[in-house]
Chain A
Amino acid sequence: MISIKNLKAGIEDKEILRGFNLEVKPGEVHAIMGPNGSGKSTLASVLAGKEDYNVTEGTVIFNEKDLLEMSAEDRAREGLFLAFQYPVEIPGVSNINFLKTALAEIRNYKGLPPLEAKDFLKLVKEKQAMVELQGSLANRSVNEGFSGGEKKRNEIFQMAMLEPTLAILDETDSGLDIDALRIVANGVNQLRNKERSFIVITHYQRLLDYIVPDFVHVMYNGQIVKSGPKELALELEEKGYDWIKKEMETAV
């Protein structure tokens, strides 16, 4: 699915990713945890193709293609989806119109015609129900005036509509109450299948109670410093990140 090797990237002179390695196979769910500022969002942005970041070293192969060579929109069309930590508001553009445009672009890239209006609306209804998103939200401007929880659910709704092969969830759980968390996790679980992979970035272990990962990685200082099975998340919850930080410092 995706193979990230020795990825180094930063902004201006500041190096943030310092030789990041990760291998995700089809159908796998990888959780990336780590203290604030360790570079998790940067990783997500670099993979999604945000131009502010400079990649200085390393390779990323996505579905047998060189990801770093692709424009951000082509990465999306190839099946990479990023659920943003801070979803953006687009005033005056209805959620529905936005998704219709996005879906048509992705389908066009694959040589498919846009969905018939009827089929599109059917899909909207179905996926909306999945994340328990109110019908009225679909007609409102993208994320404008949405509550924090609604924004996050909207991200998962978009993911469900666009059916990516690799979804990166950046702190989708932050700011959610327990009910919203369950809804979001439920949506993700329904989308899990043999072909679709997930990279779930989270600061807290609690999301992983609902979205059970195949692997847990701890990121610190722009690198993965520890990997393990899902139980690693529990250990982190118990001991906190200071333990990792200390371990790293003594190693240096």
Chain B
Amino acid sequence: MSDILEEVTSSEYKYGFTTDIEMDTAPMGLSEDIVRFISLKKNEPAWMLECRLKAYKKWLTMEEPRHWAHISYPKIDFQNIIYYAAPKAKKELASLDEVDPELLRTFEKLGISLEEQKRLTGVQSNIAVDAVIDSVSVKTTFKETLAEKGIIFCSFSEAVQEHPELIKKYMGSVVPHTDNFYAALNAAVFTDGSFCYIPKGVRCPMELSTYFRINASGTGQFERTLIVADEGSYVSYLEGCTAPMRDENQLHAAVVEIIAHKNAEVKYSTVQNWYPGDKEGKGGIFNFVTKRGICLEDNAKISWTQVETGSAVTWKYPSVILKGNNSVGEFYSVAVTNNHQQADTGTKMIHLGNNTRSTIISKGISAGFSNNSYRGLVRVSKGAKNARNFSQCDSLLMGDKCGAHTFPYIEIKDKSAIVEHEATTSKIGEDQLFYCKQRGIDTEKAIALIVNGYCKEVFNQLPMEFAVEAQKLLAVSLEGSVG
């Protein structure tokens, strides 16, 4: 098999088309004026501009974090990025018919036909979609259906206008602008994103979903997602991402905040498929994301599930602060790297309350010349009684030119804690492949089968439609990585 493994991938990024939509863009570069420009464009109230400027000033004093993660990439020129790009011809869209047909075609190519979503209304589990292309949220479906239950699901900009009290209360409460370099940058220049509020006692009847796409060249995408689950509520939230093929690297620096009140549960699933760059490692998205949730009160639960196949460089640690007693945090992750991709991803579980539990299941798959690192922190504070954590970090290597690394950090300040950590590294078995082939299954299919089996615990956490999508994506990203 070593011969087979020599053969380097020939996988093509199948989402790499650009869409010809007229753009309304800011001048290149970042300055206080640009921050004001963005705020003005979005017709924001003064308090929002204040927040942005504060973040911008903080950002100026911060240093780009370059050294601790197990990744390397060229220095980013922050003056060489366009911070605002919106598809032109903006007015309130009353129905999907008014959405730019070119844009609808984009979504169709992405495999998320909004039309279809609409047609599915009332059938099976339907999904409410908020689509963010470059910087602007284009259309939120099912808004009325959700409104009946008091659920707010809209673009972030709209929430700033319509629900300022909620935004003021929660924005930055989990990821303050002072948190890190990219969180500060995001707080200064974020252009849109999604906002979601589930009122007390409401179980959201459908999956809420946001699709992000970077389209314009030379732009960065800085979106913010804020999810608030009030007492006793439940929501399952999906996020999908793609970007076209471009030679230059593009920056994506998002912030996601989740707040779960007493007895509330939030399930957040991501399938991330940003453009990973070509076979030689040219181009691709730099994905520097801060995702964090807080179980604010007792019995709250936050669960992150992510399938990461894209981006040239990924730096991402969806985390949970377990503040309420008996609260639960979960992290299920599949991270695939191929060719020259680099991923440094994992989670942080911060146990503050009593009887808090966290589970971490991480499956890394490395192929080609890629580097795949798991970095996870489990912290139990003093006085947090009976905290439990179980972590399992598995790495699967395809070939001998890729790397897999595990960096678990465990900080236990209370003796009552029980923390278990298991880690395995395996190679995709030559014997397994031959066994499959002997049953008539070719190499590509055999790899997909074996890898999907390996990731099963994570895929089981995904909503059905997403799980199917994730499996396909996995097969596509590993295409040609063996034989």
- Identify the A interface with B (CB < 8 A): 48-52, 71-73, 75-77, 81-82, 84, 87-93, 97-99, 101-103, 105-106, 109, 141, 158, 162
Contact = CB atoms under 8 A, between A and B. Distances in A.
B453 A73 contact: no
B377 to A, nearest CB: 27
B431 A102 contact: no
Nearest to B426: A91
5 contacts: A73-B442, A76-B438, A82-B438, A84-B435, A91-B453
B452 A102 contact: no
Contact of A88 (B432, B453, B454): B432
Contacts of B441: 73, 101-102, 105
Q: Which 9 A-B pairs have the closest CB atoms?
A: A92-B453, A93-B453, A92-B456, A102-B439, A72-B437, A76-B440, A88-B435, A106-B440, A105-B440
Contacts of B438: 48-49, 72-73, 75-76, 81-82, 84
Given A51-B1, A72-B434, A88-B431, A93 B450 contact: yes
Interface in B419-441: 429-432, 434-441
A82 B3 CA distance: 23
B29 to A, nearest CB: 49
Contacts of B86: none
Contact of B439 (A50, A97, A162): A162
A105 B442 contact: yes
Contacts of B476: none
Interface in B352-402: none
Interface in B31-88: none
A82 B437 CA distance: 11
Nearest to A75: B438
Contacts of B442: 71, 73, 105
A90 B440 contact: no
Nearest to A83: B438
B445 interface: yes
Interface majority SS (helix, strand, loop, mixed), chain B: helix
A88 B432 CA distance: 6
B8 interface: no
Interface residues on B, range: 20 to 34
Given A51-B1, A101-B445, A105-B442, A90 B437 contact: no
B114 interface: no
Given A76-B440, A98-B439, A92 B3 contact: no
A71 B430 CA distance: 15
Contact of B434 (A50, A92, A93, A141): A50
Contacts of A73: 437-438, 440-443
Interface of B: 1, 3-4, 429-432, 434-443, 445, 449-450, 452-457
A102 B453 contact: no
Contact of B445 (A91, A103, A105): A105
Contacts of A71: 437, 442
B208 to A, nearest CB: 29
B435 to A, nearest CB: 4
B366 to A, nearest CB: 18
Contacts of A101: 441, 445, 449
A90 B445 contact: no
Contacts of A75: 438
B249 to A, nearest CB: 35
Given A93-B450, A98-B449, A102-B441, A87 B435 contact: yes
- Of B429, B431, B440, B454, most buried by chain A (CB within 10 Å of CB) is B440
Contacts of B455: 92
Contacts of B437: 49, 71-73, 76
B304 to A, nearest CB: 21
A67 to B, nearest CB: 13
A92 B460 CA distance: 11
Contacts of B453: 90-93, 141
Given A88-B434, A102-B441, 9 more contacts: A51-B1, A51-B434, A52-B430, A71-B442, A73-B441, A76-B438, A84-B438, A93-B453, A102-B436
Contact of A77 (B440, B456, B457): B440
Given A93-B452, A98-B449, A162 B440 contact: yes
A61 B443 CA distance: 24
A73 B435 CA distance: 10
B440 A109 contact: yes
B386 to A, nearest CB: 32
Nearest to A81: B438
B439 A90 contact: no
Nearest to A102: B439
B431 A93 contact: no
A139 to B, nearest CB: 13
B155 to A, nearest CB: 38
A73 B433 CA distance: 10
B450 A90 contact: yes
Contacts of B432: 88-90
Contact of A51 (B3, B445, B457): B3
Contacts of B436: 90, 98, 102
A49 B1 CA distance: 12
Contacts of A50: 434
